[in-house]
Amino acid sequence: MIKLGKNIVEVTGLKKRYKDFEAVKGVDLQVEEGEIFGFLGPNGAGKSTTINMLSTIIKPSDGIAKINGYDNVKERDDVRASIGLIFQESTLDEKLTANENLMLHCKFYNVPKEKREDRIQEVLEIVDLSENRSKIVETFSGGMKRRLEIARGLLHYPRVLFLDEPTVGLDPQTRNHIWEYILKLKEKAGITIFLTTHYMDEAEICDRIAVMDGGKIIALDSPEQLKSDVGGDIIEIATTDNQQAKQKIEDTYQTTVNESSEGKLSFQVKEGSTFLVEFVKNFDIPITTVNLRRPTLNDVFLQLTGREIREETASKHERNKQSMRGGR
């Protein structure tokens, strides 16, 4: 199944149109074997749409995507056999046991009969669910269900695992666990992992990130590189009069100041620590808090688009989706 050549995913000019709306406006990228590649972007950026095209769920309107050397449209079934998929929404059969869900998957994907038992044990071990093998999935917690889905996605030994928002709607502790499993996967199975997220801390774990907004990739690099491209440090302040302060900083230092929802002003400077001393000394509007920090991926996004990714609203939105689904 393994085709040699270092790029396991190759995409050129990929587009998706829905009637008069273009959800993905031309995406180009290459992903190397064994890489963890992330799509980071706000709601509606086109992350799911892109991942759905790469995983053959929807047909691209234009452009070419190749996975494991196979064309996504012309050799769809070969692509499907080479990939594992974990969707943003759960796709387990909750009336069945974990074992039944896994066994059916083996049959759908033609995993040889004599290998099924070993594989099921193996993937359950990776996600720590061996004890729960014969329990009905309905009785699982959200995190257990997610882990079971990841295990199921691995059963047919995919070359590339696609994860659309793998940790959405989960508590921080469970999120960390899921990440441990994902990293373990990379080490143990050497598979390529392709994921989307709008959590900054998750994006940090990736080898490379494509920042997506409005259907386009607006930056693509390693998290470190992206952050150092911002240049310098970030100063965050709160004042008694943010409006006036914003105006003043922009006029004095010829820079753009962003105001966050929590009422903080942030802007970037070259030499943070030396700048800060002078700045506080000379600034005549009373400052209530001040903070100097290294840029985060949020700053990267802020600099590229002038907007924040808005983790809060995004996760709230997701939780709604989650609870609607929970109501079955």
Ligand X SMILES: Nc1ncnc2c1ncn2[C@@H]1O[C@H](COP(=O)(O)OP(=O)(O)OP(=O)(O)O)[C@@H](O)[C@H]1O
Please report, as ranges, the residues that interact with ligand X according to CB under 6 A.
18, 21, 23, 41, 43-49, 88, 198
115 to 15, 108, 129: CA distances (angstroms): 39, 14, 19
Length of the chain equals 328
CA–CA separation, 68 and 318 (whole Å): 32
114 to 35, 84, 102: CA distances (angstroms): 31, 21, 15
In whole angstroms, the minimum distance from the beta carbon of 188 to other proteins comes to 24
Identify which of 215, 267, 169 has the alpha carbon closest to the alpha carbon of residue 42.
215
Task: Catalog residues that contact other proteins under the rule CB under 8 A.
Answer: 55-57, 77, 80-81, 85, 87, 89-96, 100, 104-105, 107-110, 152, 325, 328
Choose between 48 and 268: whose C-beta lies nearer to ligand X. 48
Radius of gyration in angstroms for the set of CA atoms belonging to the chain, rounded to a whole number: 23
Q: Show contacts with Mg ion in window 53-72 (CB under 5 A).
A: none
Only segment of 32-40, 82-90, 109-117, 255-263 that touches Mg ion (CB under 5 A): 82-90
Choose between 168 and 205: whose C-beta lies nearer to other proteins. 168
Does 48 sit near Mg ion (CB under 5 A)? Answer: yes
Choose between 104 and 280: whose C-beta lies nearer to other proteins. 104
Choose between 48 and 266: whose C-beta lies nearer to ligand X. 48
Choose between 165 and 233: whose C-beta lies nearer to ligand X. 165
CA–CA separation, 278 and 249 (whole Å): 13
The entry of other proteins, ligand X, Mg ion, none that residue 261 binds, CB within 5 to 8 Å by partner kind: none
Choose between 23 and 54: whose C-beta lies nearer to ligand X. 23
In whole angstroms, the minimum distance from the beta carbon of 49 to Mg ion comes to 8
The entry of Mg ion, other proteins, ligand X, none that residue 66 binds, CB within 5 to 8 Å by partner kind: none
Q: Show contacts with Mg ion in window 138-167 (CB under 5 A).
A: none
Q: What string of DSSP letters covers 231-283?
A: -SEEEEEEES-HHHHHHHHHHHH----EE-TTS-EEEEESSHHHHHHHHHHH-
Residue type, 72: N
Cα angle 49, 166, 168 (rounded to 5 degrees) comes to: 95
Does 49 sit near Mg ion (CB under 5 A)? Answer: no
In whole angstroms, the minimum distance from the beta carbon of 88 to Mg ion comes to 5
CA–CA separation, 144 and 148 (whole Å): 6
